[in-house]
Amino acid sequence: MILRLVELPIEGSSMENMEKFSEAAVMPPVPDIAVLPELFSTGYVLSRIHDLALSPDDLPELPPAKVADRENIWIVAGSLPVMSPDGVVNKMVVYNPDGEIAYTTEKVHLFSEMGEDRAFVQGRCGGTFDLSGKTAGGIICYDLRFPELTRRMTLGGASIIFVPSQWPSGRRELFRSLLRARAAESQIFVAGCNIGGEHLGVIFKGGGGVAHPTGNMLKGSIISDGITDFEIDLSDVDQVRTHIDCLSDLRPDEYGSIQSVKETP
């Protein structure tokens, strides 16, 4: 399977960005699956998120859906601001090769340091989905710092987790370290896609990658500036676990409730 990360800058209108990222996803050679960054159509213009938010009814007709259908590929369409009954959620949308919505999930943890909680409401995890006979899942940017979500999807059978992000270049090594950590601790693939260039005065310049179930970062093939392809074999998950199977050694009885456990002085 060829997995592509599309790490372009956010420039122009929402529709212009959607079309640019979607066409980059299928630049020859066309991959099997393409991953776009977090909020790739709008960026973090938090003061305008409510006005830019999409209706759930808009999602089936967006450019990524049409391109996925046209080119017969999977597109993990990063995340988008979408209206919900409680407010705007930061929602990941995955389109299958027929251009249909195969999966959605929402950003669970909001980064209050930058005021994200004033523009969005907390989302709900969408669990896992079927990816051409394998199980996959998704988390969004800051969710990467919370291993409980990745472990939940791993126990649900996920072989790969997609992580659309907007992670500043100054914390790039942390971003890649967390991708490796989530992959190694659950022995799965973890694919993180970051935005390129600069946005609202912050330098990003891509820097995402794909972590193998061993915890090593895979080497990609640069197709064009900001577009990188990775060859992955999801059967590696089972192969790695034949040597060391961390999940078989879990001790949930010792973990207790994260909220209530206190160490005895």
88-117 as b/e: b if 16+ CB within 10 A = bbbbbbbbbbebebbbbbbbbbbbeeeebe
160 lies in a domain? yes
Which amino acid does the sequence have at 226?
Answer: G
pTM of the shown model: 0.95
Pairwise pLDDT comparison (70 vs 255), residue with the higher score? 70
Pick from 101, 104, 106: which is nearest to 87 by CA? 106
- Is the N-terminal amide bond of 81 cis, ω within 30° of 0? no
User: Which two tokens mark 51?
Assistant: 């006005």
- CA 241 vs. chain centroid, Å, equals 24
Q: How far apart are CA 71 and CA 87, in angstroms?
A: 34
As a whole-number percent, the residues of the chain with pLDDT over 70 amount to 97
Q: Which of 19, 116, 141, 193 is catalytic?
A: 141
**CATH number of the domain that residue 104 is part of:** 3.60.110.10
Q: Is 141 a catalytic residue?
A: yes
- What is the average pLDDT across 224-232? 98
Q: Answer yes or no: is 262 within a domain.
A: no
The pLDDT of residue 258: 60
Asked which of 63-67, 135-139, 241-245 is least confident by mean pLDDT, the reply is 241-245
Structure confidence at residue 113 (pLDDT): 83
In a domain, 263, yes or no: no
**Is residue 241 situated within a structural domain?**
yes
**So what's the pLDDT on residue 115?**
84
| 77: in domain | yes
What's the pLDDT tens digit per position in 2-34? 999 999 999 999 999 999 999 999 999 999 999
Say which residues have a Cβ less than 8 Å from residue 265's Cβ, sequence separation at least 6. Answer: none
pLDDT tens, position by position, 191-201: 999 999 998 89
* Mutual angle of helices 172-186 and 147-155, in 10-degree steps: 30
Expressed as residue numbers, the domain containing 33 is 2-255
Q: What pLDDT does residue 265 have? A: 40
Which of 38, 71, 106, 116 is catalytic? The answer is 38
Whether residue 246 lies in the annotated active site? no
Digit-coded pLDDT (tens) for 77-104:
999 999 999 999 999 999 999 999 999 9
End-to-end Cα, the chain, rounded Å: 51
Q: Let me know if residue 265 belongs to a domain.
A: no
How many structural domains does the chain have? 1
264: in domain: no
- Domain for residue 116, yes or no? yes
pLDDT value for 244: 93
Catalytic residue among 71, 107, 116, 193: 107
3-state secondary structure of 231: strand
Q: How far is Cα 230 from Cα 263, in angstroms, rounded to an integer?
A: 44
- Which helix H or strand E contains 162, and what residues bound it? strand 160-164
